[in-house]
Amino acid sequence: MSKQDFHPRLTVITVVYNNVKDIERTILSVANQDYRNIEYIIVDGGSDDGTVDIIKKHEQYISKWISEPDKGIYNAMNKGLAMASGEYVLFMNSGDEIYDSTTVKKVFASSPDADIYYGETEMFDSAWKSLGPRRHKAPKQFTWQSFKYGMSISHQAIYIRRSITEPYDEYYKLSADIDWILKAAQKAKKIVNTHQYVAKYLVGGMSKKRHRQSLMERFEIFTEYYGFVPNLFHHVAIGAKLAWYYLKNRRTND
Q: For residue range 2-51, what is the model confidence (pLDDT) as tens digits? A: 667 899 999 999 999 999 999 999 999 999 999 999 999 999 999 999 99
In the chain, the N- to C-terminal Cα span, in Å, equals 54
3-state DSSP assignment of residue 121: strand
Confidence at residue 210, expressed as pLDDT on a 0 to 100 scale: 73
Is 19 part of any domain?
Answer: yes
Please indicate, yes or no, if residue 191 is contained in any of the structural domains: yes
State the pLDDT at residue 5. Answer: 81
Containing domain of residue 171, as a range? 3-209
Q: Is residue 12 part of a domain?
A: yes
| Number of domains composing the chain | 1
Tell me what pLDDT residue 242 has.
Answer: 59
| Mean pLDDT of the 65-87 span | 97
Residue 135: is its pLDDT beyond 80? Answer: no
Query: Does a structural domain hold residue 252?
Result: no
What CATH number is given to the structural domain containing 51? 3.90.550.10
Confidence of residue 246 (pLDDT cuts 50, 70, 90): low
Give the integer Cα–Cα distance in Å for 162 and 181. Answer: 12
Spell out a b/e string for 146-169, using b for 16 or more CB atoms within 10 Å of the CB, else e.
Answer: bbbebbbbbbbbbbbbbeebeebe
Residue 40 lies in a domain: yes
254 assigned to some structural domain: no
| Least-confidence region, from 95-104, 127-136, 161-170 | 127-136
Angle in degrees, CA 232, 237, 243, rounded to 5 = 125
Q: What is the pTM of this model?
A: 0.89
Question: What is the average pLDDT value for the chain, to the nearest integer?
Answer: 91
Q: How far apart are CA 142 and CA 190, in angstroms?
A: 10
Among 10-19, 57-66, 239-248, which is the least confidently predicted range? 239-248
Residue 134 amino acid letter: R
Q: pLDDT per residue over 149-176, tens digit each?
A: 888 899 999 999 999 999 999 999 999 9
Q: Please indicate, yes or no, if residue 245 is contained in any of the structural domains.
A: no
Q: Is 240 contained in some domain?
A: no
* Distance separating alpha carbons of residues 45 and 139, to the nearest angstrom: 34
